[in-house]
Amino acid sequence: METKLIKIRPDCPEFDREEEDGLRRAGDVIRRGGLVAFPTETVYGLGGDALNPRSSRRIYQAKGRPSDNPLIIHICRLEDLYGIVSRVPEAALKIAGMFWPGPLTMILPKAPGVPPETTGGLDTVAVRFPSHPVARKLIEYSGGYVAAPSANLSGKPSPTLARYVVEDMAGRIDMIVDGGEVGIGLESTILDLTVEPPRILRPGYVTQEMLDSVLGRTDIDATIIDPDSRQIPKAPGMKYRHYAPAGRMVIVEGEPGQVAAYINRQAEADRKAGEKTGIIGTTETLELYCADVVKCVGSRENQADIARRLFAVLREFDDEKVTSIYSESFSGRGLGQAIMNRLLKAAGNRLVKL
Ligand code: TXA
Ligand code: MG
């Protein structure tokens, strides 16, 4: 299959005629059952018609993703929520008022019209109203309901640049909309509103502190904060090894000087054993490290920077064929909770505490 590529200028308040036409054509592709990858404020998504079971099946196929892992339905108007959800609790409207459009997904009871192929057979549905102007326009032209997982091959880091979508999806889908680099870089926060108190199933840019300030109290899925938890995560997707680079990754926690000494020692031993070694450091610690490839993920002073760079850094290690990767760890507070969650998954939960 030939994959068409169209470009939209990033950070441009208005679409020009050609961009508008391109997005209209992309919407038609989705309406006819095709697949289009597009930018959102979190990561690139792989969109199909959420109400067409064949589209959802095609999404699973293109990603190589197990079909018990449900998809998020993206909308572009708050009122469209009522078309796919059977009951909208008060708390959902409060959350929507504060965080929509934006990087937050709500789990709600599913309306009968939503095909089981889209929800992995569950009786709940995940809904997100993204803020990215390209995403919103495309959803509108697609008929209002776009199922979209992250646009990576299953198991790989989510794409934050169109280049990585091309790498994973060229030849597998109908079209890719290149809208430049995404702003946030980690997938949306997922909040389950079918339980009391509401529970965070995946941490993201909207933090637990922010949700608590609106709802009073939220729980967090135990599997997110405790890597050794034996429970099965409630978001089916969170049980898979995910976000992972091809190399074997280990996270090291402790006092910065000790961490650097430990990582350098391990990397040196790995290098002698024939591995190509990589290290993820920060502006503050970069010069302490020595390996084949040392990458800076951002400054410890700026968590949003680290979130935006993380998946690209993991992909760059793949590009450079690094086989053994070490990373510093980050504080589990605020946005740091989402950063650590993705790092731990990328590392298959290999964490060394010094
Ligand atoms: O930021 C995002 O959310 C991106 C962009 C493209 O919008 N999308 C995304 O989709 O990350 P995906 O498919 O990669 O992750 C969706 C997660 C999976 O872990 C899935 O198991 C969970 O949402 N999920 C979907 N529906 C659910 C449901 N009804 N109950 C519990 N978890 C659900
Ligand atoms: Mg994903």
Q: Give the residue among 272, 313, 278 at the shortest CA–CA distance from 293.
A: 278
Ligand 1 atom 22, closest CA = 235
Confidence of residue 67 (pLDDT cuts 50, 70, 90): confident
Q: How far is the CA of 156 from the centre of ligand 1 (A)?
A: 15
User: 13-42, pLDDT tens digit by residue?
Assistant: 899 999 999 999 999 999 999 999 999 999
**Whole-number Cα distances in Å, 258 to 263, 292, 352:** 8, 20, 12
Rounded CA-CA distance 94/34 in Å is 34
Ligand 1 atom index nearest CA of 184? 1
User: What's the confidence (pLDDT) of residue 65?
Assistant: 85
Best residue among 190, 191, 345 to mutate for probing ligand 1, ranked by most atoms within 8 Å of CB? 190
Ligand 1 atom 30, closest CA = 235
User: 183-198, pLDDT tens digit by residue?
Assistant: 999 999 999 999 999 9
Ligand 1 atom 32, closest CA = 235
Ligand 1 pocket, Cβ-based, cut-off 6 angstroms: 40, 42-43, 45, 69-72, 105, 107, 119, 122, 124-126, 128, 148-150, 187-188, 190, 201, 234-238
Rounded CA-CA distance 76/119 in Å is 19
User: 252-284, pLDDT tens digit by residue?
Assistant: 999 999 999 999 999 999 999 999 999 999 999
pLDDT at 230 > cutoff 70: no
Q: How far is the CA of 120 from the centre of ligand 1 (A)?
A: 11
User: 82-128, pLDDT tens digit by residue?
Assistant: 999 999 999 999 999 999 999 999 999 999 999 999 999 999 999 99
Ligand 1 atom 33, closest CA = 235
Q: How far is the CA of 17 from the centre of ligand 2 (A)?
A: 32
Q: For the whole model, what pTM was predicted?
A: 0.95
Tokens of residue 171, six digits? 């030849």
Q: How far is the CA of 257 from the centre of ligand 2 (A)?
A: 34
Place of tokens 């939220």: 218
